[in-house]
């Protein structure tokens, strides 16, 4: 392959933010920056939605369908292709999606202005990807099938070459090498690219990588020498670190190496850079851990992807507090965040091969990380390894999400049998029946519109809990409260005075809300809280007929958010309900997984103390039982 072929660039504006922190800009901010991105004149493609992007919209009370339409529109008009990231069987979420919802997904996104569906499966199980190739093409989209690149004894050049062939023969229009952790070795990636181009010279190839471990620039050069057509890039102030290689570096390197690459309008570049910084200064920087702006070769060993490092550091920040509360209470020396990070990396190396080497990409990177972190925390507290495994993680282990690349450790198989769990060997999609009719009925009951092109129906079916929180206003209230707390913390650190808010309980159409009020003209950030409308905890709802005398507290086993159910198919437990040992009483959602709270004995619910969706600390009382 001649060095003189053209290499085009794709800007990962969404992924830049999520690789650095938790949130992405609001739609009004995105609309401000889009024209300047276009003026840069160097992008053939821009990533506009997908993955966790839409859940983030819902979390801060923004309609994701409106956001996608308004964000894709200027690029579409400028002739720049837009692409989204989707998770095959999991669609846009962390758990499997019914087939009818997956089919609607592509129709909706094409109607909203998205051109390319970049589909990957976290286990590289082509049974999950191939249906999405058909769904995307039926909807009129370009199907870009992706391979999740990782580095293990199983994930060889031959493994990926064979996978690419299977995807192309199944109808994929393009192939993406999704090097989500940036740990693919440059020479291997070059050879994989060369192998694909040898047999399928007409198939465009995109290389996507994260900068963290330091291989990405060398890998970009190797894949381009082998015939890669598109390279994903980031830009200042959110390039490098756990993000992506910087546009300017990649452009200069490839230009000097003889490739045909576009020039960059530096005046527009500086405007995009300044706008991005202003969004960070507004509120988004509150969710960016400074360590995520650094490259770190320690990431080579655990192989954790850059896209989840933003949430990982937030998880560590949250969990170190709980761990140190326990250690201090028991007279033991406290740990630093770095201490916990190294313990986590060591545990990932222990856990990963024992649960079958799932590629460390969403959601399975989170599952491996969560399982390792839970093991670390439990062992610090003198408990057994594997003593807390979330339902979604068990589904992966049992084969309900697809085939694991490697074999399970006998210890894990024995634990599954001990708990009466059955392994699944069928087609993963068959385990998740169609659901759109159910959600249509639920929306009719609520008086909610299905939306243009059924986009609201899609959103509800894809993200039920988050959509309900968005519609009720709870999501926005929780978000504003969290922003205010973080700004208050910054203000306190800088010596600003604080004003204590007054908290009232109000009734709105029969539902009670807590509202924080500060004096007119007061600085909400300094006050430590923005006006909120969070539903009141259910503590006051205990039935009078059930005596609370001698009731036993049921504590939360970890820090997170308490939910009575995790989807609409489950019935919540109520005061007065009886239960058997092992029954599910609720969930604590932590680190994007739902951890079931199981009854340790037979009993009856006397009082539900925590409200549905409430944030809880470890050992907070969730409910009282007898």
Asked if 508 and 550 sit in the same domain, the reply is: no
Question: Is 80 exceeded by the pLDDT of residue 531?
Answer: no
Six token digits for residue 113: 């202005």
Burial of 510 (0-12, 13-18, 19+ CB in 10 A): exposed
Token output for 256: 């000097």
Domain boundary among 512, 532, 552: 532
Task: Give a yes or no: residue 181 inside a domain.
Answer: yes
Q: Which is more confidently placed, 588 or 73?
A: 73
Report the number of secondary-structure helices (H) and strands (E) in the chain. 21, 19
Do 133 and 272 fall within a single domain? yes
Q: Is residue 542 part of a domain?
A: yes
Highest mean pLDDT range out of 483-492, 494-503, 564-573?
483-492
b/e burial code for range 406-444 (CB count within 10 A of at least 16 → b): bebeeebeebbeeeeeeeeeeebbeebeebbeebeebbe
**Domain limits for position 606:** 538-625
pLDDT tens for residues 421-448?
999 999 999 999 999 999 999 999 999 9
- Tally of domains in the chain: 4
pLDDT at 536 over 80: no
- Higher pLDDT: 186 or 287? It is 186
**pLDDT over 50 at 616, yes or no:** yes
Contacts of 562 (CB under 8 A, 6+ apart): 556, 586, 587, 588, 589, 610, 611, 612, 613, 614, 615, 616, 622
Give me the CATH number covering residue 71.
3.20.20.70
Residue-level pLDDT at 615: 84
Would residue 219 count as lying in a domain? Answer: yes
| Lookup: tokens for 54 | 């839409």
Lowest-confidence region among 43-47, 450-454, 601-605: 601-605
Residues 273 and 124 reside in one and the same domain: yes
Which is more confident, 247 or 387?
247
Residue 545 has pLDDT above 50, yes or no: no
pLDDT at position 541, please?
42
Residue 496: what pLDDT?
54
Residue at a domain's end among 490, 510, 532: 532
Q: Does residue 253 sit in the same domain as residue 139?
A: yes
Residue 539 clears pLDDT 80, i.e. is over it? no
CB 51 within 8 A of CB 362: yes
For the question of whether the overall pTM of this predicted structure is more than 0.95, the answer is no
Confidence category of residue 547, pLDDT binned at 50, 70, 90: low
Residue whose C-alpha is closest to residue 221's, from 260, 190, 264 = 190
Q: How many residues are there in the chain?
A: 626
Rounded mean pLDDT of the chain? 87
Q: Would you say residue 472 has pLDDT above 80?
A: yes
Contact (Cβ atoms closer than 8 angstroms) between residue 48 and residue 70 = no
**Mean pLDDT of the 567-582 span:** 84
Residue closest to 157 by CA, chosen among 144, 147, 172: 147
**Residue 460 belongs to a domain:** no
Compute the average pLDDT of residues 473-480: 91
b (16+ CB within 10 A) / e for 514-537: bbbebeeeebbbbbbbbebbbbbb
pLDDT of residue 104: 98
Does residue 231 share a domain with residue 153? yes
Do 33 and 170 fall into the same domain?
Answer: yes
53 confidence band (pLDDT: 50, 70, 90)? confident
pLDDT digits (tens, 9 = 90+) for 395-406: 999 999 999 999
Label residue 614 by pLDDT band (50, 70, 90).
Answer: confident
Does the structure show a pLDDT above 90 at 387?
no
Instruction: Say if residue 359 is in the same domain as residue 397.
Output: yes
Q: Which of 296-300, 551-555, 604-608 is predicted least confidently?
A: 296-300
Q: In this predicted structure, what is the pLDDT of residue 360?
A: 82
Q: 279 and 330 in one domain?
A: no
Please tell me the predicted confidence (pLDDT) of residue 83: 96
Distance from C-alpha of 92 to C-alpha of 526, rounded to nearest angstrom: 36
Residue 463 lies in a domain: no
Residues near 300 by Cβ (< 8 Å), separated by ≥ 6?
Answer: 183, 213
What integer pLDDT is reported at residue 510 of this predicted model? 47
274 lies in a domain? yes
Which has more confidence, 583 or 248? 248
Task: Tell me the average pLDDT across 347-370.
Answer: 89
Contacts for 306 with CB less than 8 Å, ≥ 6 apart? 19, 180, 181, 182, 210, 211, 212, 241, 242, 243, 244
Residue 339 banded pLDDT, cuts 50, 70, 90: confident
Give dist(CA 513, CA 516) in Å, integer: 10
Supply the pLDDT for residue 458: 97
- Give the distance from CA 514 to its chain's centroid: 29
Least confident interval from 4-8, 104-108, 139-143, 531-535: 531-535
Q: Do 553 and 492 belong together in one domain?
A: no
Domain with residue 586: its CATH number is 2.40.50.100
The residue among 248, 265, 288 that closes a domain is 288
Q: Do 588 and 562 meet the contact criterion of CB atoms below 8 Å apart?
A: yes
Of the listed ranges 80-89, 98-107, 123-132, 604-613, the least confidently predicted one is 604-613
Statement to judge: residues 366 and 278 lie in one domain? no
In a domain, 551, yes or no: yes
Rounded distance between C-alpha atoms, residue 488 and residue 518, angstroms: 13
Residues 331 and 424 in one domain: yes
Question: Which pLDDT belongs to residue 521?
Answer: 44
**What is the per-residue pLDDT for 582?**
80
Q: Are residues 203 and 251 in the same domain?
A: yes
- Asked if residue 424 is part of any domain, the answer here is yes
Q: Is pLDDT above 60 for 626?
A: yes
């Amino acid at each position: 392959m001649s060095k003189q072929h053209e290499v085009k660039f794709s800007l990962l504006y969404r992924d830049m933010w999520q690789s650095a922190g938790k949130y992405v800009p609001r739609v009004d901010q995105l609309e401000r920056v889009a024209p300047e991105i276009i003026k840069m004149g160097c992008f053939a493609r821009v990533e506009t939605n997908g993955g966790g992007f839409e859940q983030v919209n819902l979390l801060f009370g923004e309609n994701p369908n409106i956001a996608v339409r308004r964000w894709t529109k200027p690029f579409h008009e400028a002739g720049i292709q837009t692409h989204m990231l989707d998770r095959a069987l999991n669609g846009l979420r962390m758990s499997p999606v019914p087939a009818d919802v997956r089919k609607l997904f592509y129709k909706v996104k094409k109607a909203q202005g998205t051109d390319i569906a970049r589909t990957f499966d976290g286990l590289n199980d082509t049974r999950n990807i191939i249906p999405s190739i058909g769904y995307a093409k039926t909807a009129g989209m370009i199907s870009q099938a992706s391979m999740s690149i990782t580095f293990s004894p199983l994930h060889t050049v031959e493994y990926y070459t064979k996978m690419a062939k299977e995807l192309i023969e199944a109808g994929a229009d393009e192939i993406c090498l999704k090097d989500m952790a940036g740990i693919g070795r440059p020479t291997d990636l070059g050879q994989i690219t060369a192998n694909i181009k040898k047999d399928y010279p007409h198939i465009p190839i995109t290389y996507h990588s994260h900068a963290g471990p330091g291989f990405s620039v060398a890998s970009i050069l190797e894949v381009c020498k082998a015939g890669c057509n598109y390279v994903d890039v980031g830009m200042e102030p959110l390039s490098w670190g756990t993000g992506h290689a910087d546009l300017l570096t990649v452009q200069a390197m490839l230009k000097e190496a003889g490739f045909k690459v576009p020039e960059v309008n530096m005046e527009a570049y500086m405007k995009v850079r300044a706008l991005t910084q202003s969004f960070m200064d507004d509120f988004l920087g509150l969710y960016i851990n400074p360590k995520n702006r650094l490259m770190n070769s320690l990431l080579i060993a655990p192989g954790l992807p850059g896209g989840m490092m933003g949430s990982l550091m937030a998880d560590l920040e949250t969990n170190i507090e709980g761990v140190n509360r326990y250690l201090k209470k028991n007279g033991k020396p406290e740990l630093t965040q770095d201490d916990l990070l190294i313990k986590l990396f060591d545990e990932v190396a222990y856990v990963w091969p024992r649960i079958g080497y799932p590629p460390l990409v969403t959601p399975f990177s989170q599952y491996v990380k969560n399982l390792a972190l839970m093991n670390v925390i439990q062992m610090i507290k003198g408990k057994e390894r594997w003593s807390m495994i979330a339902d979604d993680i068990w589904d992966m282990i049992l084969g309900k999400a697809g085939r694991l690349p490697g074999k399970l450790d006998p210890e894990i198989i024995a634990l599954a049998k001990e708990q009466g769990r059955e392994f699944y060997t069928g087609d993963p999609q068959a385990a998740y029946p169609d659901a759109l009719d159910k959600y249509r009925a639920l929306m009719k009951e609520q008086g909610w519109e299905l939306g243009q092109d059924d986009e609201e129906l899609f959103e509800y079916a894809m993200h039920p809990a988050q959509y309900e929180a968005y519609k009720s206003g709870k999501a926005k209230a929780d978000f504003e409260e969290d922003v205010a707390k973080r700004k208050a913390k910054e203000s306190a650190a800088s010596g600003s005075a604080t004003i204590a808010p007054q908290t009232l309980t109000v009734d709105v159409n029969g539902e009670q809300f807590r509202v924080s009020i500060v004096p007119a003209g007061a600085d909400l950030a300094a006050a430590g809280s923005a006006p909120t409308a969070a539903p009141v905890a259910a503590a006051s709802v205990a039935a009078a007929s059930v005596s609370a005398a001698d009731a036993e507290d049921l504590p939360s086993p970890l820090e997170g958010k308490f939910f009575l159910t995790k989807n609409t198919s489950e019935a919540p437990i109520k005061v007065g309900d009886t239960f058997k040992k092992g029954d599910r009483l609720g969930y604590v959602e932590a680190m994007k997984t739902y951890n079931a709270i199981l009854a340790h004995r037979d009993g009856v619910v006397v009082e539900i103390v925590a409200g549905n969706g409430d944030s809880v600390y470890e050992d907070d009382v969730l409910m009282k039982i007898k």
